[in-house]
Amino acid sequence: MTGVLKRKFTISAGLLALLCALVCPTVRADGTGMGDLTITLSTISGMAGQQVIVGGTLMNSSTNTLYFANESLNFTSITVPLQQTDVVSNAFFGKGPGSIDGGLTLTVIDLFRFTIPDVPTGLYDLNSYDLLGGIDPNCAFGIGVCDVLLGTGSFTVNVQGTVPTPEPGTMVLLASGLLAGLLVLRRATQ
């Protein structure tokens, strides 16, 4: 008799698991998880000591309006002491969006700014920008479930070297060479 009970229990558990898989919502429902917001950033280029304002594109693939509540900037390949995230503060002061409607794409959004540190020239990747929030309109006020990671964007920092300025002696040599060439041409034509 225990073999029959075991088989009935196994079949019941299997049917219950199948029913749950068909009826329960997916792990990422609209406005409640990673993947609802695509953040696109390009490579950031500049010289050491230069402050860079970084814009990006936000695309909401869900059907819900997503409200922004918090953001973070993560540099893993370089240490950047001077940095500031802008989306939430810009929304608070009316200088940028505080939300994005379902199915909408926002372009050239001021995401963050930082000063490129004094590091050797080269590419520094594995950096990311995260935007958190939720589907509750009160997220802008810190009320409700607003700590959902809506999206993350990766970016590379291209630290460029300084363009060498010609020394005054080089300019004098160039000018005197041109002048001598003109004199030789003038005498040759006479």
| Token pair of 73 as six digits | 């900037």
The 10s digit of each residue's pLDDT in 32-84 is: 555 689 999 999 999 999 999 999 999 999 999 999 999 999 999 899 988 99
CATH number of 37-160: 2.60.40.10
Please check the confidence at residue 127 and state whether its pLDDT lies above 60: yes
With bands split at pLDDT 50, 70 and 90, how would you rate the model's confidence at 163?
low
* Domain spans, the chain: 37-160
Which residues does 85 contact at the CB level (< 8 Å), separation at least 6?
71, 72, 73, 111, 112, 129
Model pTM score: 0.67
